Structure 1
Amino acid sequence: MNTFFLVSLIVFWIKFLLTSIWNLKISNFVIMQDTLQKYLPERAVSLSMELIKENGVHLKIVNQRVTRHGDYRRMPNGSHQITVNATLNKYRFLITLVHEIAHLVAFEKYGRKIKPHGLEWKRTFQYLMLPFLRPEVFPTNLLPMLARHFRNPKASSDTDASLSLALKQFDVQDSEKSYIFELPHGSVFRIYNGKLFQKKNKRVKRYECIEVATGRVYLFQPNAEVELIKD
């Protein structure tokens, strides 16, 4: 086998492999875009895909976890994995996705020593979220609350009670669930892990609740969803 033929063969296979990889990436992005159509507002899909491609995000959509809506992890091989709960309504899904991408961008830009929800993340989240804050993406009744929230975004939109309640109106309703603020004083309720609590006094923004089994006092957000135990 002469040298020219060998080099030509190697070049051919390199081009073939590169083309195959490129076509696979395009195919994966097309599949991802079709998938996101189910979870995001229609006018937010293309811009979300740009953020995903630009930042090399591996997005996983998973069954609901009760402790958080999503998370970001830098994997051992250097890739970026973002996980978002499949059960979120499309507006909360979008906010969560951009929230996690903001972690990725902030860490890459400012280094891994910054606070997860510090000033660098807040500024990044505001910047990435701004193109979505328009009536073509969000209902007009949400926009004023979103504008207030993003003046100083919190670690979780759930801690912004007014915004959280406004977003919940787009959830699939669970007739067995109630909000803490709706419960009568002294009523007993069950949370996601089966533990029972009794509602007590309101302390500033949150409610003191006593765990029935231990007598320990815990603070609950007023918009926490729980199951009322009826007599």
Structure 2
Amino acid sequence: MSHIHLDPYLPSKTLEQVDDWTQDFNLTIVLSKDRKSKLGDYRRLRGDGHLITINHSLEPYLFFFVLTHELAHLYTFSTYGPRVGAHGKEWKQTFRSMLLETLDKYPEELQEPIRSFARLPKANFMASPELVRHFQYNTLGPNEAYMEDLGFDTRFEYRGEEFLTLSKLKKNYLCQHIATGRKYRFNCLARVKLRK
């Protein structure tokens, strides 16, 4: 079964790979509206059906990366059964193998970060700053920045709340919620809105 509807969302010459991976499965892939909590999702349906949803607005290489992540769930479930951990060792091994199999589908500057990520795949690609920078730097909106780009004592907005940067920790930033005075840690690649 071809997933030709995905062709405009995928990097060139990757649809054939997706079709090869999915030909033996009763799989539906649905384009989803943007979700802040996740980029993609895999679910087993009743009977022998499977469903993958992917945020429709992802940059093509990120779309392919996320689809590979979700297909690794499908393969893991089909190979090892439903009792394995969602992001356990079986999934990591499957995802690693699929990433390395398709390494040449990515631009040269992205191949080393993906190879590095594949050594010990995480559930969320946000664990790899190199991948985040490549996939998301070009998608910052007006008045948006990453935490690591802010100076200290800078006010910013995150999910409608106002914060102040205080200090840098090992990998995160310590910030103070303006309204309550409570302190929170922010990932260095958290996307925030600059205050005017």
**Structure 1 residues without counterparts, runs of 5 or longer:** 1-25
1:105 to 75, 79, 88: 75
1:165 and 2:133 correspond: yes
Question: By how many angstroms is 1:99 displaced?
Answer: 0.2
**Code of the aligned partner of 2:186:** F
2:62 partner SS: helix
Q: Structure 1 residues 123 and 188, CA, compared in 2 at 3 Å: closer, same or farther? A: same
Higher relative strand content = 2
Tell me, in whole angstroms, the C-alpha distance in 1 between the residues paired with 2:31 and 2:79. 26
Deviations 1:148-202 (A, max 9, x none): 1111111111121122102224x444232101100111212112x3122222222
1:194 to 154, 160, 165: 160
| Percent of residue pairs bearing the same amino acid type | 31
Question: By how many angstroms is 1:78 displaced?
Answer: 4.5
2:96 to 126, 150, 169: 126
Tell me, in whole angstroms, the C-alpha distance in 1 between the residues paired with 2:140 and 2:153. 25
1:75 and 2:42 correspond: no
Tell me, in whole angstroms, the C-alpha distance in 1 between the residues paired with 2:179 and 2:25. 47
2:72 partner SS: helix
Match of 2:24 in 1: 54
Deviations 1:73-113 (A, max 9, x none): 11244421111111110011011001011112112222222
Structure showing greater radius of gyration is 1
Tell me whether 201-210 or 177-186 shows the greater mean CA deviation. 201-210
Tell me, in whole angstroms, the C-alpha distance in 2 between the residues paired with 1:218 and 1:114. 33
2:58 to 77, 85, 88: 88
Match of 2:171 in 1: 205
**Code of the aligned partner of 2:164:** Q
Question: By how many angstroms is 1:55 displaced?
Answer: 3.0
2:53 partner SS: strand
Contact 1:55–1:105 (Cα < 8 Å) also in 2: no
Question: By how many angstroms is 1:214 displaced?
Answer: 3.0
1:155 to 123, 138, 141: 123
Q: Which runs of 4+ in 1 moved over 3 A?
A: none
1:199 partner SS: strand
1:92 partner SS: helix
1:64 and 2:34 correspond: yes
2:69 partner SS: helix
**Alignment length, in residue pairs?**
196
**Code of the aligned partner of 2:61:** Y
**Structure 2 residues without counterparts, runs of 5 or longer:** none
2:141 to 174, 182, 185: 174
1:43 partner SS: coil
2:76 partner SS: helix
RMSD (CA atoms)? 1.7
Match of 2:189 in 1: 223
Tell me whether 109-118 or 137-146 shows the greater mean CA deviation. 109-118
Question: By how many angstroms is 1:130 displaced?
Answer: 2.1
Tell me whether 201-210 or 57-66 shows the greater mean CA deviation. 201-210
Q: Structure 1 residues 59 and 203, CA, compared in 2 at 3 Å: closer, same or farther? A: same
Question: By how many angstroms is 1:59 displaced?
Answer: 0.5
Match of 2:152 in 1: 185
